[in-house]
Amino acid sequence: MPDHRQIPKVIPGRYVRQVAKSWADGAPYRQELHSVDPIFQVTGIVIVRHLSHETAMDYSHFLDSLPHGPSFRFVDEIKALEPGVSGTGQYRILGDEDFLAGHFPGNPMMPGVILLEAIAQMGGIVAQSGEQKLENLRLTAVKMAKILGAAVPGETLDISARVEGRLGGLVQIAGEVHGPSGLLANAKIALSGDEV
């Protein structure tokens, strides 16, 4: 069993959400958390999962390649990545996301357009992890999108994306979102950016 002192230190911002996710999963390690995050306010002791330094360092910097701020990121953790080719990530719906208050009152569920945004974000991570980088990468088109199910607070979404092709500053992505009940959404996404 690893020493609890090897667990990465908690920092304010995006990582607090990851700590909350790990805590909700019932992980067996404890860590003091003395910061307060505006997205998920937590103080005191929380339970966190032990992450090897390799796992935390291998993928966490790819999340920073997204132009979105932490409050609009729909990929919490990257589970697998083949740079420039494909990747999978996860997003845990905590229930405190602002958009859930209105979608729908008393019966919150993840909006379908945000499932598509999660595919685009995972696709952006995959596209930017390869050798060919693009500046100002943005969602350009959504094709053949299907919303096949709903996700609710407490569920973890598995998001996958694969680069199907590149042409200059355009990247074609195929992606899917799965939840506990199966496939929730799939789409072809086009991203565009300026060649570096």
Q: Are 118 and 68 in contact (CB under 8 A)?
A: no
Catalytic residue of the set 34, 50, 61, 103: 103
Residue 22, token pair as written in the block = 């790990």
Q: How far, in Å, CA of 33 to CA of 9, rounded?
A: 9
Q: Would residue 170 be called left, alpha or beta, if left means φ above 0 and alpha means ψ between -120 and 50 degrees? A: beta
**Pairing label, strands 86-92, 77-82:** antiparallel
102: exposed, middle or buried (C-beta count within 10 Å: 0-12, 13-18, 19+)?
exposed
Q: Are 119 and 173 in contact (CB under 8 A)?
A: yes
Q: Where are the alpha helices (DSSP H) in 79-154?
A: 112-129
Sign of CA dihedral 146, 148, 151, 156: negative
Active site residue 53: no
Beta-bridge mates of residue 176? 160, 186
* Residues assigned a catalytic role: 103
